Amino acid sequence: MSEIIKKSRRKFLGLMTSLGGLTLVMVFGTNATLFKSRKYALKKGRRRLLFGRYNLRNKNATVGVVAECNSTEAVSQATRDLRKEGYDVALRRPYHSAAALNGVSNIAGIDISGMNQIQWVNDTDISVGASVLVGELFSQVSQQGRSVPTGDCIGLTISQLLSSGGIGWTSREDGLLCDKLVEAEVVNKSGEVLNSSIDPDILTFAKGGMSEDVGIFTNFVFRTVPAHTQLRKRSYFFNSRDIKESIDILRKWFVLGENLPLKSHSNCYVQFREIEVRVQDFSNDGSGLQYADRVLLPLQPDRVENKIVDGRDVGGHFEDHPLEGTYFEKGSLGFVDGFREIQDSLRGTLKLLENPLGWDGGVRVGFRTLGGRIMNSPNGAESSVGFREKKFLGEVECYWKNQAEEEVALAFLKKIYILFSRVKLHYAGFKRSIEELPESEYFGDKTALRSQIRQKIQSN
């Protein structure tokens, strides 16, 4: 590798030093090969970031030099070789999107998109490569009558979902995805391969959210659970006349969420005066929808839509993404206990949405139910303290169709962040409101332990 690097360094050294080293990201595409070994290939050329499927902002970010790896051994060797050549290996946060790299183009990466193998270890445990998509894992386990709480976004990789806990429709019954993790493998910045079967601390750290710069998690083993074979879905649509009516509907939804049966899940979305409440019920008797009807039908929704899916698991969510083909930013409004905690924030947000936005796009505020076995042992969440202590999670999506409108759209979004700034616990996978919060805000009593494990992984 040394001769190839030296011959090519004039062509791309400037690209690397602009960031002070090599940044490891997931990318896709093929271009001219600079070097090829038995384990990996080093390539140069403009390549788009992986998984910019929905967000056009991600599709604008590119990388220049890439080591293509399809195994843990390849990642290890590429990391060692690049360090030997004098490159400082740095890691970006492995969160949901590549938004942190927007506008950055002159970087290199390690391509692990080929690490998409899925293999059953035994009747209950399944081994998954870091770049396997959520939808792919769902398909594999459901064919065997098994399930894992795979989350709501089938276009994410397993490592992206796991980095922030991994919540799905069945989580109130089955726990988060991180609760089902039984083994993890990581390559640290020095190229060392560390496995939780030898060092259990690796598993502890992975369950808590694979944050910061510890290394590249390359493979996971999950313990599956019996599949839920029936799903009833119902959506309640409201077109409110004013802010007061919207607040009354939202207050009722939080009551619904606090008392929803365990084998049910609900989301509530607000877009201007339009409110949609979704209820997913995977019980045998439909008790979740029966309760939702008792709470919501007296509010006289404008319409109600039913969808029943029998004979398959419901670990993921396969509806089209509503913002596909747009530029958007998704952020956290925090973990909360109930309506009273954020009623002023909601009222202020609804007032903002009453005015013309000033761009071609929109803003959608949403909440989802937590609680149940996410909070309680033996399936208690190993991730953020918010999952362990709070009953609801709030999110906001801001989208625009013209790239030139980004500045005004994000300025509006910041106003909503400010309204929710009193909420201190935020979803680690999304933008953290308007300020960088200390890690203790996420992990609480596990913060010190995570810090110790991080130092150990980095020092190996």
Q: Which pLDDT score, from 0 to 100, does residue 358 have?
A: 85
Please identify which residue in the block is written with the tokens 């083993």: 221
Assign 3-class secondary structure to 318-350.
CCCCCCCCEEEEEEEEEEECCHHHHHHHHHHHH
- Of 431, 413, 334, 410, the C-alpha closest to 93 is 431
Spatial CB neighbours of 366, under 8 Å, sequence gap ≥ 6:
267, 268, 269, 270, 394, 395, 396, 397
Q: Let me know how long the chain is.
A: 460
Domain boundary among 178, 212, 227: 227
Residues 186 and 258 in one domain: no
Residues 27 and 72 in one domain: yes
Q: Which pLDDT score, from 0 to 100, does residue 311 have?
A: 44
70: in domain: yes
Residues 263 and 412 in one domain: yes
Residues 378 and 341 in one domain: yes
Q: Tokens for 430? A: 């999304």
Residues 10 and 132 in one domain: no
Residues 380 and 279 in one domain: yes
Q: Nearest 5°: CA angle at 296, between 293 and 298?
A: 95
71: in domain: yes
Assign 3-class secondary structure to 348-394.
HHHHHHHCCCCCCEEEEEEEEECCHHHCCCCCCCCCCHHHHHCCEEE
Q: Which pLDDT score, from 0 to 100, does residue 408 have?
A: 92
**Measured distance CA(100)–CA(95) in Å, rounded:** 9
Q: Tokens for 215? A: 């290394």
434: in domain: no
Domain boundary among 227, 250, 268: 227
Residues 263 and 379 in one domain: yes
**Measured distance CA(375)–CA(266) in Å, rounded:** 17
Residues 344 and 365 in one domain: yes
pTM: 0.83
State whether residue 278 is helix, strand or coil: strand
Q: Nearest 5°: CA angle at 49, between 365 and 180?
A: 65
247: in domain: yes
Beta partners for 109? 66
Tell me, what CATH number does 398's domain have?
3.40.462.20
Residues 214 and 278 in one domain: no
435: in domain: no
pLDDT of the chain along its 460 residues, tens only? 544 443 333 222 222 222 223 334 444 344 455 556 667 777 665 454 444 455 666 555 555 567 788 899 998 988 888 777 765 554 444 333 333 333 333 355 677 878 889 999 999 999 999 889 888 898 899 889 999 988 667 777 888 788 778 888 889 999 999 999 999 999 887 889 999 999 998 998 888 766 555 778 899 999 999 988 788 889 999 999 999 999 999 999 999 999 999 999 999 999 988 999 999 998 989 999 999 999 999 999 999 998 765 544 444 444 445 566 688 888 889 999 999 999 999 999 999 998 888 888 889 999 999 998 898 767 778 888 888 889 999 999 898 988 899 899 999 999 999 999 888 887 765 555 555 566 777 777 777 888 888 888 877 6
450: in domain: no
Q: In Å, how far are 59, 271, 438 from 99, measured between CA atoms?
A: 10, 23, 20
256: in domain: yes
On whether the CB atoms of residues 51 and 160 are closer than 8 A, the answer is yes
Q: Which pLDDT score, from 0 to 100, does residue 297 have?
A: 97
Helices (H), 40-123: 56-59, 72-84
Residues 20 and 104 in one domain: yes
Residues 359 and 235 in one domain: yes
Cis peptide before 378 (omega within 30 of 0): yes
Domain boundary among 227, 242, 276: 227
Greatest distance between any 2 Cα atoms in the chain: 75
Residues 275 and 223 in one domain: no
Q: What is the number of structural domains in the chain?
A: 3
185: in domain: yes
Q: Tokens for 360? A: 């071609």
Which domain covers residue 370, as residue numbers? Answer: 230-419
Tell me, what CATH number does 166's domain have?
3.30.465.10
Q: Which pLDDT score, from 0 to 100, does residue 355 have?
A: 85
Q: Which pLDDT score, from 0 to 100, does residue 425 have?
A: 83
